[in-house]
Structure 1
Amino acid sequence: MNEIVDYFAQIPSSHRALIIAGGIAFFWLLESIKPMFVFDYKKWHHAGINIFFTLTTVVVNFILAFVLLMAADWTVTHQFGVLQWLPDMPLWLFAIVGLLLLDLVGAYLPHLVEHKTKILWRFHLIHHTDTWIDTTSANRHHPGESVIRFAFTTIGVLVAGAPMWLVFMYQSLSVVFSQLNHANIALPPKLDKWLGYLIVSPDMHKVHHHYLMPYTDSNYGNIFSVWDRLFGTYRELPKDQIVYGVDTHMDAREHNDLGNLLKIPFQRRSKDNLESEKIIDTPKN
C-alpha cells in the first residue's frame, strides 16, 4: 500500500494523460467488438466533439491544479477534515474512507445540485444532450461546468481532509470509472447487477442518460453506487427502453454541433427548467 501511496503522491502528468487516453482507447476497442447499441452516427465526428470537451476539462483542471494542492496541503497541515479527525487506521482503510468521502462531496453532491439548480443545469445540459452515449461521452462537459465541478472537488478535499496522494488516486479512478460506465458495452446482466451493488455499473449509469424524467434525475453516482441507494436516487430501467439525450435538445443541429453546444448555457429558451419541461416517463411493458 505504501508503494501505491508513493506513486500517486508523485504521479507524473504524463501518466495522468495516459490514463485518460488509454482508457478511451481501451473502451473504444471494446465498443467496436461488442457494442451495447448499434448507433447510426458519424463516430469520428461525435468523438471529435467529445474529445474537444475532454481537452477543455483537462486544461481547466491543469490551470487550477494549484488550488487543489493548496487545499490538500492546508488540510494536512491544520489537521482539518473528516480523515484528519478520525482515529488512526490502516492505510488501506484510510484510502477507502477517503475515496468514499471524495466521491460523495466531490461527485455525487455536485451532480445532484447541477440537476436541481437552474443555472448549473444549463451548463450540465451539454453532457445530457448526447444521443449516442459511448466512452468519449464521459468528459463531455462544458468548460463552465468543468470549473463548477472543480470547485466542488476542492470543497470535497477540504471536507474529507484528503492528502494530495489520495486526491490524485481519486481523480485517476474517477476517469476510468466514468469511461467504463459511459462505454457502449454490455456486461453480462448478472455481472452488471452484482457490480452495481458496489460501483456505478454501465447499465446503472445508462439509466441516468434516458431522455425523460424521472430517470434523468437518478443514478448520480460516479464511482460508488452506495450514495444513490442510500439517498433514494437509484432507479432501474430495462436497456431496451432507454433512449439517450434530453427531451429539449433531441435535434442533431443542437446536440451535434460544437458551436451550438458551447452557446447552450447562454441561450434563451422558453423551456429551460428541467423540473417544468420534462414529461414523466412511464415505461410501457
Structure 2
Amino acid sequence: MQDLINYFETIPSLHRSIILVGGITFFWLLEGSLPLFKFKYRKWQHALPNLFFTLTTVIINFAFAFLLLKTADWVSANNFGLINWLPEMPLWLYVLLGVLLLDFFGAYLAHYVEHKAKPLWMVHLVHHTDHNVDTTTANRHHPIESVIRFAFTLFGVFVVGTPIGIVMLYQSLSLVATQFTHANIKMSKKADKLLSYFIVSPDMHKVHHHYVLPYTDSNYGNIFSIWDRLFGTYMELDREKIVYGVDVFPDEEANGKIGELLKQPFQKYQKPTILPDK
C-alpha cells in the first residue's frame, strides 16, 4: 500500500494522460462489442464536443493543480483534517477513508449542489443535454463547471486532510469510474445490481441521465454508491425506460454544437417537468 501511495505522490503527467486516454479507448472499444443502446449516430461526430470539453477540463485542472498540491502539503504538515484527527489506523484504512470522503466532497456534494442551485444547474446542464450518453460523455463539463468541481475537490482536501498521494489516487479512480458509468455497455442486470451495492454501476448512473425529474435528481455518486443510499437520493429505473437528455432543452442538434453548449448556462432557466408519483 505504501508503494502505491508513493507512486501516486509523484505520478508523471504522462501516466495520468495514459489513464485518461486509455480509459476512453478501452470503454469506446467495449461499447462497440457490448452496447446497451444501439444509437443511430456517427460516433466520432458525437464525440467531438465531448472531447473538446474533456480538453478544457484537463487544462483547467492543470492550471489550478498547484493549489491542490499546496493544500495537500499544508494539511499533511499540520496534521489537519478529519482523517488526521482519528485514532491511528492501518494505512489501508487511512487511504480508504481518504478516498471515500474525497468522493463525498469532490463528487457527491458538488453534484448535489449543482442540481439544487439554479445558476449551477444551468452550468451543469451541458453534461445532461447529451442525447446519446457514452464514455465520452464522462467529462462533458462546461469550463465553468470544471472550476466549480475543482473548488469542491480543493475544499474536500482541506476538510478531509488528505496528502497528495491519496488525492492523486482518488482523482485517477474518479476518472476511470466516471468513464465506466457513462459507457454505453450492457452488463447483466444481476451483476449491475450487485455492483451497485458497493460502487456506482452503469445502470445506476444512467438513471441520473433520464430526461425528467425526479430521476434526474438522483444517483449523484461517482465512485461509491453509499452516499446516495445514505442520504436517500438513490433511485432505480428499468434501463429500457431510460431516455437521455433534458426535457426543457430537447434540441438534439443544438445540444451537439460546441458554440451552443458554451452558451447554455446563460439561457433563461426553464422549469422542468416532474413525473407524478405512481
- On whether the aligned pair clears a TM of 0.5, the verdict is yes
SS in 2 for 1:88: coil
Q: Name structure 2 gaps, 5 residues minimum.
A: none
SS in 1 for 2:36: coil
Which residue in 2 is equivalent to 1:143?
A: 143
Are the structure 2 counterparts of residues 282 and 32 from structure 1 closer, same or farther at C-alpha, using a change threshold of 3 Å? farther
The Cα of 1:181 is off from its aligned counterpart by 0.2
The Cα of 1:221 is off from its aligned counterpart by 0.1
Which residue in 2 is equivalent to 1:170?
A: 170
Looking at structure 2, the residues matched to 22 and 283 of structure 1 have their Cα atoms a distance apart, in angstroms, of: 42
Which residue in 2 is equivalent to 1:127?
A: 127
Looking at structure 1, the residues matched to 116 and 254 of structure 2 have their Cα atoms a distance apart, in angstroms, of: 22
- Note if 1:75 corresponds to 2:69: no
Within a 5 Å distance, the mapping from 1:189-200 to structure 2 comes to: 189-200=189-200
Aligned 8 A contact 1:241 1:283 in 2: no
- Note if 1:280 corresponds to 2:270: no
The Cα of 1:253 is off from its aligned counterpart by 3.0
Task: Give CA deviations for 1:122-164 in whole Å, capped at 9, x if unaligned.
Answer: 1100000001000000000000000000000000001110000
SS in 2 for 1:29: helix
TM-score normalised according to structure 2 size: 0.98
Aligned 8 A contact 1:102 1:153 in 2: yes
More off after superposition, 70-79 vs 21-30: 70-79
Task: Give CA deviations for 1:35-80 in whole Å, capped at 9, x if unaligned.
Answer: 0000111211111110000010000000000000011011111111
- Note if 1:243 corresponds to 2:243: yes
**What is the one-letter code of the residue matched to 2:272?**
K
Are the structure 2 counterparts of residues 282 and 39 from structure 1 closer, same or farther at C-alpha, using a change threshold of 3 Å? farther
The Cα of 1:82 is off from its aligned counterpart by 0.4
- Note if 1:265 corresponds to 2:265: yes
The Cα of 1:233 is off from its aligned counterpart by 0.2
Within a 5 Å distance, the mapping from 1:41-80 to structure 2 comes to: 41-80=41-80
Which residue in 1 is equivalent to 2:152?
A: 152
**Count, aligned residues:** 278
Which residue in 1 is equivalent to 2:84?
A: 84
The Cα of 1:224 is off from its aligned counterpart by 0.2
Divergent runs of 4+, >6 A: none
Task: Give CA deviations for 1:68-112 in whole Å, capped at 9, x if unaligned.
Answer: 001101111111110111111111100111111100111100100
Q: Give the percent of matched residue pairs that are identical in Structure 1 and Structure 2.
A: 60
Aligned 8 A contact 1:181 1:206 in 2: yes
SS in 2 for 1:224: coil
Q: Aligned-pair RMSD on alpha carbons? A: 1.1
